[in-house]
A = this chain, B = another copy of it.
Amino acid sequence: MDKRTKLMLTAKKLFSKHGFYGTATARIAKEAGVSNGILFHYFSTKDKLIEAMYFDVKDRIFHYSLGQIYKDATLKESFYTLWLAAVEWNLENPEDFDFMLQFENSPFYSLEIEKSHKYVQMTMELAEQGIEQGEFKFVSPLILVQVVAGLVDTTVKFLRMNEDLQQDTEYKNKLFEIVWDAIKK
């Protein structure tokens, strides 16, 4: 594995456990088994490393989740697939989840960063579609996207504390009804 990747994996592990504040760059390099200098060769500052990791994680989760949607699915099916894929991905990648939560709620994060992301447009289009078809509530498509994203986080946090429910498909369907009822007209 190349050292850039090793650094990002180690950084993710440490950031998610100890926070940005509690993780020294020297420690990241040491635990990744590379030299101190190479970290700053790939990422000119600590902040740049954090930002690069954000884009990397966001990319992977959206690529995975959007990839699960199949053609000719109804709007509800698409949203169900999207929601479930995101929830399961986050449960299987707890470090990524913790890192993202921390990042998105820190002063590092601005909406400029968010908006620059290609996948946001794609989910917005789904929401707009639902509104036009009269299936969703007549509100800003942005709030609908944010509601779904927020409910993914809420669900993941809840299922983490209730491991026995993680495999319970029936219960997860009930949890999805929360999401669907929230956005549907």
A residues near B, CB below 8 A?
A: 16-22, 98, 101-102, 104-108, 111, 137-140, 142-143, 146-147, 150-151, 153-155, 157-158, 161-162, 171, 174-175, 177-179, 181-184
Q: How many copies of this protein are present in the complex?
A: 2
Q: A19-B108, A137-B177 are in contact. List 4 more A-B contacts (CB 8 A).
A: A19-B21, A142-B161, A147-B151, A181-B181
Report 14 cross-chain contacts, Cβ distance below 8 Å, ordered by A residue.
A16-B107, A18-B107, A19-B20, A102-B105, A104-B105, A105-B105, A142-B161, A146-B158, A150-B151, A150-B154, A151-B151, A178-B183, A181-B181, A181-B184
CA A115 to CA B181, docked complex, whole Å: 28
Q: Which residues of B contact A162 (CB under 8 A)?
A: 140
Question: In the complex the two chains form, is B19's CB within 8 Å of A106's CB?
Answer: yes
